[in-house]
Structure 1
Amino acid sequence: MRKTRATLCAVALLPALVLATPAAAHRTEVTTRDGALTPGQQRAADRYWTPDRMRMAGALVPEITPMPPDDNTPDDPTVPPADQPDPGAVWTHGGAVTTTVGRLFFTFSDGYDGSCTATSVRSPNRSTVVTAAHCFRGTGDPADADTWNHNVYFVPGYRNGSKPYGGFSVRVMFTSSRWDTGTDSSEVAVAGYDTGVAVVNPRADGRRLGDAVGSQEIAFQPPVSGEFVHAFGYPHVQSGTQWLGARMVHCAGAARPGPDAPLLFGMRCDMAHGASGGPHLVGFDPATGHGTIVGVTTTGSDLAGGPEERSYATRLGSAAKLLYDRAVRR
């Protein structure tokens, strides 16, 4: 099924379907899509993502949606305890997470703009980001350009319409081939394949992403039920929450499998549309803002289940490592 503007970044709104496991019978391959390759294409992406266009990304009906206000919540140098649960609040405590995590912008095939969340991860090419696969594409034939998003652009540390560390156009995207043959995005997501990896171009001054903002560690390991996890994301104007995309939001808690999607792990968290692709980190140190990414936000309780709103992640396993290994060689 080709996903529309209303369903991309809205996997939580789709019904839960029959589960498969990452060890499903057919072999998992990597699907690749080029983005901004030429200098002209890269400059065009820089020009396209203006402050107001970034603020409005994700509006379901942008023609009548008011411009979201800035969020001027004061920064707080106080470092919270690493094991303190947080159901959702603007992250005001600084650290590396405020430079390595950002909004991932894109344009749907119908011409409307949307956004997700992505993170700079440690890699040999110093240019790799990880996010959710549904932030790049819908299911279907990857040769059909309409199954992919366009103008894909990463803004680390996004805040109130600004690019504090510049913007990075996406050069090439990688997703699991399970999205090629899947009949519905929710089916592929709950099966554990909702990971996307991309290589970004240097910013306008020629600096690579990792050199400009740093990176988070990344690990491909089995989940542990009850493990304490910190999640970050940029829920936007379509989220139905108090968040409007202006600032990065934080959640933390013990992650457990979804009752209706046991391959996805999450904690209580008031984030929705726009937070997709955001990092779930273990071993996170609030004093430094560093941790290790073990998953990316996929959906909420509507799809995965639970008694309250939760943020569920696709955990990074062997399928995600295939994508990462391919990306870091580019």
Structure 2
Amino acid sequence: MPRTSTSENRRLRGRATRLAVAGTALALAAPVPAAAAVPGEVQAQGGAQVQAQGGAQAAAANPVSLLKYTTKERRDALAYWTTARMKAVGASVDLGPSGPRAKPWRGPALKTVGRLFFVNATGADTWCSATAVKSANKSAVMTAAHCVRRGSSPVNTNMSMVFVPGYSKGQQPHGVFAVRAAVTPRSWENDSVNDMAALIVDAGKDGRKLTDTVGGQAIAFNRPVGGTVSALGYPATRPQRGEELLRCVGTAKKENGAQVIPCDLNGGSSGGPWFADFDTTTGKGVLVSVNSGLDSLAPTKMYGEVLGDTAKKVYDRAQRP
């Protein structure tokens, strides 16, 4: 039985109550050799942070960190996340009843939105939610930074990470994509600020790139907060227990430097998209944030970062090979 814990939901209260269903004990992986790096870019591999060439000063000036997974790690991740394991991790967590605001999505299949499965820093199976977005390399996925690594703890990174777009009740209609690299803000790594991340995924089993397979949602940066937003994700609430996509709808407002909507999606929905201009007949919208935190364990508010200049730099790095 996969090991899971709801302690991630209790870890921080108020603005910073995170939604990943994950344990929180520290676990360090053994260092491995660094891959070739861009000067000034901080990279991590196999859970151990390594400094790229250019020295500490150059790294400090770069606002993004890059976590890379080896070919073997990606191959092992695909083998690890069987259909049975995906279903088992949801069955092992119960965060109470779904709703009343969060309701199952009953519109057209959202091929771009899916579950992000991984093994967290404590060695526990868990998941978040994520979205394929338009990108130059056709391989970028947006999620929350706390779905990649623990905030303010650079060496505590998640492993065996795969993205399953369109996941529904154990079905993987578009395949499973291994995460090749994850880009997070340095401010998250060091200070738990800017809870957003971008992933770069391998091509699928058929050799096709992600957005050639499922399409990609538009994404906006420095967009004024406001208007109607649809927030989606795969929470560990019952009866769905991560097996179905749920949605909240609300008006976005600014609060304490972030944006907030009325929503009771819970753990497991971390990293799920906030869509503005969402067309329920086509399933297309503009991604303006991702699920980041709740106001309490009995949530009435969902928080998301305002995607500004730092978020744009994270996304731009993820558009590269």
TM-score interval, normalised by the smaller of the two chains:
0.7 to 0.9
Q: Which deviations, in whole Å up to 9, do the C-alpha atoms of 1:220-270 show, x marking residues without a partner?
A: 024324x1101110002xx5x544101000111111234xxx222222222
> Which amino acid in the other structure matches residue 130 of structure 2?
A
Instruction: Give the deviation of 1:173 after TM superposition.
Output: 0.5
1:164 and 1:287 map into 2 onto residues whose CA distance is 20
Question: Aligned in 2, Cα 1:268/1:141: closer, same or farther, shift over 3 Å?
Answer: closer
Deviations 1:7-55 (A, max 9, x none): 54x3x7513489xxxxxxx9661111102x32x4433222211122112
By relative contact order (CA 8 Å, sep 6+), the higher-ranking structure is 1
Please say if 1:109 is aligned against 2:141.
Answer: no
* Contact kept? 2:86, 2:117, Cα under 8 Å: yes
Residue segments in structure 2 that go unaligned for 5+ positions in a row: 17-59, 95-99
Q: Which runs of 5+ in 1 are unaligned?
A: 19-25, 67-85
2:241 alignment partner in structure 1: 244
> Which residue does the alignment assign to 1:87?
101
Q: Which residue of 1 aligns with 2:31?
A: none
Q: Following TM superposition, by how much is the alpha carbon of 1:284 offset from its aligned partner in structure 2, in angstroms? A: 0.6
**Residue 233 of structure 1 aligns to which amino acid in structure 2?**
G
Q: CA separation in 1, counterparts of 2:253 and 2:319?
A: 30
Aligned to 1:301: 295
Q: Which secondary structure does the structure 2 equivalent of 1:322 belong to?
A: helix
Residue among 138, 151, 158 paired with 1:149: 158
Equivalent position SS for 2:252: strand
Question: CA 1:308–1:302 in 2, change beyond 3 Å: closer, same or farther?
Answer: closer
Q: Deviations 1:41-83 (Å, cap 9, x if unpaired)?
A: 4332222111221123367xx4xx69xxxxxxxxxxxxxxxxx
The answer (yes or no) to whether the contact 1:57–1:105 under 8 Å persists in 2 is no
Q: Deviations over 1:168-226 (max 9, x none)?
A: 010000111112322xx4xx3xxxx000101000111111100011110001024324x
Correspondence 1:48 to 2:80: yes
Distance 1:254 1:317 in 2: 19
The percentage of counterpart residues that share the same residue type is 38
What is the rounded CA distance, in whole Å, between the counterparts of 2:150 and 2:201 in structure 1?
A: 21
Tell me which amino acid in the other structure corresponds to 2:170: G
In the other structure, the counterpart of 1:126 is 138
Letter in 1 for 2:175: G
Q: 1:253 aligns with which of 250, 254, 267?
A: 250
Q: Which amino acid aligns with 2:317?
A: R
Contact 2:116–2:129, Cα closer than 8 Å, also in 1: yes
- Scaled by the length of structure 2, what TM-score is found? 0.77
| TM-superposition CA deviations, 1:88-125 (whole Å, max 9, x none) | 11101114xx1000000110132211100000000010
Q: CA RMSD in A?
A: 2.6
Indicate the residue corresponding to 2:190 in structure 1.
181
